[in-house]
Chains A and B, each alone.
Chain A
Amino acid sequence: MVNRETMAQYLAIFVLLALGIVFGAASLVASALLAPRKQPSAAKLAPYECGIIPSREPPQRFPVRFYLIAMIFIIFDIEIVFLYPFAVILHQLRTFGLVEVLVFAAVVLVAFLYLVSNGALSWGPPKRLVEGMGSRTSETTIERVGAGASSSDRAA
């Protein structure tokens, strides 16, 4: 016979477990429901080269931005690692500990602000392409493609 009080401590774990299972199942169901059914054809998957089937592998380019995201992930991961022992002795450290960690977090937060302001966390193509250009629509894109030479001159 196990004490009810003792077992109640495991409640949180049980809830987390249930949440985990629900989330995993929901993801599977959602992707099954929402994903496009039709498999793309081989021609569609091939790199676009003016309709000619490419004879060799296209050169690989690795956008540095993705590495940046991974690096930043690790950096903030390290911050989290420090929070674990802090959480354990939170009570014993009293206000002093809270101030310590707040200072630490504030400094790292500035790094985060820097990241956001630099657009290091924004995905997709850069928003402002050319000075003075409005928001990107299909019209402007066509305009840009059509006036490729002149716009590059302007940029120069």
Chain B
Amino acid sequence: MSFLGFLDGLGGPHVRDGVIHLVVVLASVHALAAVTAIHVPHIRYLAILPEIVMLGGAVLLLGVASLSDRPVRMSVTTVGTVVISGASMGLAWWQWADVRQHGPFTTVAGAVVTDGFSALIAILASTAMLLTALVGDGYLRREGVEGPEFHVLAMVSASGAMIMGQANDLIVIFLGLEIMSIALYVLAALNPRRATSGEAALKYFVLGSFSSAIFVYGIALTYGATGGTNLAHLTSYLSTHALSSNGVLLAGMGLLLVGFGFKVAAVPFHMWTPDVYQGAPSPVTGFMAAIAKAGGFAALLRVFVSSFGTLRPDWRPIVYVIAIVTLVVGAGLAVVQRDVKRMLAYSSINHAGFVLLGLQAADARGVSAALYYVFTYSFMVIGSFAVVTLLGRSGDVGHDIAGYRALARRQPVLALAFAVLLLAQAGVPFTTGFLAKLQVVAAVVDAHSAPLGFVAMGSAAIAAFFYLRVAVLMYTPRRPRWVPPGREIVFDPIVGPQASTAAREGSGVSGQAEPEIAPGGSLDGGTAEGAVATVPRTLAELRLWSGSERTVAVVERLNADLLIDREAEAVEDGAGGRRVRVPPAAIVAIGICIAVTVVFGIVPGPLVDFTHHSTLLLLR
């Protein structure tokens, strides 16, 4: 019976009606007034304009690059990125001005909050993007990486950090975290010429995915305990319900802390940091250090200080321990590193420990100090990695610390810039690094955690050692070349042994003017250019050349020493054995970083006020 209905309907008017109905629905969604409308959220576009510009710019760049017939030139991409980040930064400043005048507000169904805090993070993220675009330009040309992917991914990543800064909902925080992180995973693998780059990306991805899963689990448990993911809801719920010893909530909070701890590289969750920082392309490393810390700490501070504020007695001891371990491990392991990027990785762990002090203080002053730290550190680390980028040879290799010896002779300006940035990271007065460390330690002492402050100062002393070591090394002349006692022969690993008359008379055995590398010609032995006489390279040639068995014997006897010495020298020549060409864009980027670091170190007022007001304008 029922089938009859079907069959009747098959050829009947129902089909026709159905088609007409479908057409009506598709044609006029708006016109159907019969259904009750869902109340749609109000959007105040000022709140999300910086993100829209950044994300929209990235998508636009991607679209233009996809649709154009020929590959888009790198200069076009870079200029586009700089313009987009600049626009985003301007809009973030507009937000800041608006918030100062009219106060903070939430929008898009309470998922987004615009306050001083979010504006500061947006300014920071867009500035970091701008600087990275400038640094990355030369790098990408040198490495032969084509296409707009670097800029697109970096811009999306920066907007992820902005989203984390303004998120007022745990789910939005998670989305921001994922947008930021996944783009960073891919950026880490961007240099296909280096196997370490891919390895770094894989490690980062696997561990990052774990931490994201843990973070989601934390969100789920928090939701289960409080019935909402909105931070405003969390705050009000926790202030009206006594849930201080609720297992589910505490577990959720702990898992959230683990997730954040991973992103900001706090110590039990820092394992990925050295490998990823070392393996990732150098400009990406600087960007990663700045952005991941900015986004991670922004959300961490907002969630814990603002929403979990009533649970301070529960989480402050945990942060206390994490901060101590982070400070000690970061500083301790940085000392023994031989690779500059790896050293800076451990130093960034150390810096994360300092920022955690601000969280541990858990009051307005602590948050302000933490923000100041994150803000100033971003400039230092992007600048530092910009210098490292320039000194890395084609292929982004040769980052051994020994290679920085006597850098000041070859490239005095670059060496000076690097020295300033390193000293700032060490916390030398008249730099922002000093004020940053001072503020967090003061905040934590005020919050009755003085022992933590002492640990922090101790780790700063250790950290000063490894920063200064590199700085001093750059101003140390080259180690003396090996001279056999018989006849003075200077072995240069690049041009081969030289008749040492010139060497002796010139600048003694040390600090001789650097011979230029002449590829091909210099390596095939025998010929060395200019004043240096034709010299032998192998022992057989040496025998022929000197005609003296005694010299050969001496050389053979000292072969072992020679090997060691030569290896060391070869390593020394790794990073800066020759002068590198410094692209103007990178000069601008490093200049901005140093200017911010030094100017606000000498005139601290504006920046301190800025972070202070940002904190005061934090929406509670």
- Residues of chain A touching chain B, judged by Cβ–Cβ distance below 8 Å, are 1-4, 7-8, 10-12, 14, 89-98, 107, 110-111, 113-114, 116-118
Q: Which residues of A contact B10 (CB under 8 A)?
A: 11, 14
**Max chain B CB contacts within 10 Å: which of A1, A10, A11, A118?**
A11
Is A114 a contact of B66 with CB atoms below 8 Å?
yes
Chain B interface size band reads: 20 to 34
Closest to A110 in B: B63
Is A11 a contact of B6 with CB atoms below 8 Å?
yes
Q: Does B518 contact A (CB under 8 A)?
A: no
* 19 A–B contacts from the bound complex (CB under 8 Å): A1-B1, A3-B5, A7-B6, A8-B5, A8-B6, A11-B15, A90-B25, A92-B36, A93-B37, A94-B30, A97-B29, A97-B40, A98-B30, A110-B62, A111-B62, A114-B62, A114-B66, A117-B65, A117-B67
Q: Does B445 contact A (CB under 8 A)?
A: no
Is B66 a contact of A91 with CB atoms below 8 Å?
no
Is B30 a contact of A7 with CB atoms below 8 Å?
no
A36 to B2, CA, bound (A): 45
Q: Does B9 contact A (CB under 8 A)?
A: yes
Question: With A2-B1, A2-B2, A11-B15 as given contacts, are A90 and B29 in contact (CB-CB < 8 Å)?
Answer: yes
Q: Which residues of B contact A89 (CB under 8 A)?
A: 38
A94 to B30, CA, bound (A): 5
Question: With A92-B36, A94-B37, A96-B40 as given contacts, are A14 and B29 in contact (CB-CB < 8 Å)?
Answer: no
- Residues of chain B touching chain A, judged by Cβ–Cβ distance below 8 Å, are 1-2, 5-6, 8-10, 14-15, 18, 25, 29-30, 32, 35-38, 40, 59, 62-63, 65-67
How many A-B pairs with Cβ below 8 Å?
A: 70
A3 to B1, CA, bound (A): 10
Question: With A92-B35, A110-B62 as given contacts, are A11 and B40 in contact (CB-CB < 8 Å)?
Answer: no
Is B32 a contact of A110 with CB atoms below 8 Å?
no
Nearest chain A CB to B524 CB, angstrom units: 20
Main secondary structure of the interface of B (DSSP, over half): helix
Is B30 a contact of A2 with CB atoms below 8 Å?
no
Q: Which residues of B contact A92 (CB under 8 A)?
A: 35-38
Nearest chain A CB to B201 CB, angstrom units: 15
Question: With A91-B29, A92-B37, A98-B29 as given contacts, are A11 and B18 in contact (CB-CB < 8 Å)?
Answer: yes
Pick the 3 closest A-B CB pairs, nearest first.
A7-B5, A117-B66, A91-B35
Nearest chain A CB to B154 CB, angstrom units: 16
A118 to B149, CA, bound (A): 11
Closest to B149 in A: A114
A66 to B171, CA, bound (A): 33
Q: Which residues of A contact B25 (CB under 8 A)?
A: 90-91
A96 to B43, CA, bound (A): 11
Question: With A11-B18, A117-B67 as given contacts, are A110 and B29 in contact (CB-CB < 8 Å)?
Answer: no
Q: Apart from A7-B5, A11-B15, A14-B6, list 11 A-B contacts with CB within 8 A.
A: A3-B5, A8-B5, A10-B6, A92-B37, A93-B40, A94-B30, A96-B40, A97-B40, A110-B59, A110-B66, A118-B66
A98 to B25, CA, bound (A): 12
Q: Which of B14, B62, B67 contacts A11 (CB 8 A)?
A: B14
Question: With A114-B66, A116-B66 as given contacts, are A7 and B18 in contact (CB-CB < 8 Å)?
Answer: no
Nearest chain B CB to A40 CB, angstrom units: 38
Is B66 a contact of A95 with CB atoms below 8 Å?
no
Q: Which residues of B contact A11 (CB under 8 A)?
A: 6, 9-10, 14-15, 18
Nearest chain B CB to A113 CB, angstrom units: 4
Q: Which residues of A contact B5 (CB under 8 A)?
A: 2-4, 7-8
A11 to B10, CA, bound (A): 7
Question: With A92-B36, A113-B63, A116-B66 as given contacts, are A7 and B29 in contact (CB-CB < 8 Å)?
Answer: no
Q: Which of A14, A95, A116 contacts B30 (CB 8 A)?
A: A95
A90 to B526, CA, bound (A): 80
Q: Which residues of B contact A12 (CB under 8 A)?
A: 18
A93 to B37, CA, bound (A): 6
Nearest chain B CB to A15 CB, angstrom units: 8
Q: Which residues of B contact A97 (CB under 8 A)?
A: 29, 40
A107 to B159, CA, bound (A): 15
